[in-house]
Amino acid sequence: MELSDFDLSCFSLTGKVALITGGNTGLGQAYSIALAKAGADIFVPSLGADTSDTGAAVTGAGRRYAYLAIDLTGPGAPEAIVAACLAEFGRIDILINNAGICLLDDVEGFDRAKWDPMFALNVTAAFELSHAVIPTMRAQRSGKIVNICSLFSYLGGQWSPAYAASKHAMVGLTKAYCDELAADGIQVNGLAPGYYATAITEATRSNPVTNQRVLDHIPAGRWGEVSDLMGPMIFLCSGASDYVNGQVLVVDGGYLVR
């Protein structure tokens, strides 16, 4: 391509279909809305009834939205999710493995009863759903898989060894799948959020001591807002990142450098 031929249409997701696990709540909702605003139709599989306003936000952006209530860790779930998305939209261009949980306890109390469900959702469900979309993406000769990693893909972290271990595992899965799928026109990358002002961090932010401890570690001097992740996610899902593969994009205000 000639340099003069470059234009910003490479960031457009018009005509694309994005499958986003847990894409109706928390940071997942921000990913759904961002991709819809960039032109993608959105399919969200998640646990329980969808009581969020995500669908309204997606359709308000002029895109289609479909929801499937399903346990991502249940038998046959990956195949059912892929089949439902294909039945609804006819294609899958983007998979965002976003769904995850974080159970807490001290190191002695953190046993298999907490470890197993976290790995089942945070890692195994992501692996199985990625595996299930490969035939579709290979047939299209294109696709984007984005695994949601974390600062704790690089750190230890107290009170949840399974969270750190599972997020380290997601980096390994990202790199392994990139190595096999790049030749098929499929890019596999990770997005690693830092500390964000969401419901799950409210207790930390409302305590002046713990809030300041986090802020002192962030060169940007503030907690992340969910909107800070929307542009990076669009980039990883668009043609602008076609030569970006096997990378983890950390969006943390500089936390890891301090």
Extract the tokens encoding 224: 């992340």
Catalytic residue among 31, 65, 154, 163: 163
Distance CA 90, CA 216 (A): 48
Extract the tokens encoding 92: 């899958």
Helix (H, G, I), strand (E, B) or coil at 143: strand
Q: Which residues contact 154 (CB under 8 A, 6 or more apart)?
A: 192, 250, 256
Residues forming beta bridges with residue 48, ordered by sequence position: none
Nearest to residue 163, comparing CAs of 178, 150, 176? 150
Q: Give strand ranges (E) for the chain.
A: 17-20, 41-46, 65-69, 94-97, 143-148, 186-193, 248-251
What b/e string do you get for 208-224 counting C-beta neighbours within 10 Å, with b at 16 or more? Answer: eeebeebeebbeeeebb
Mark whether 163 is an active-site residue: yes
Nearest to residue 234, comparing CAs of 171, 146, 167, 149? 146
- What is the set of active-site residues? 163
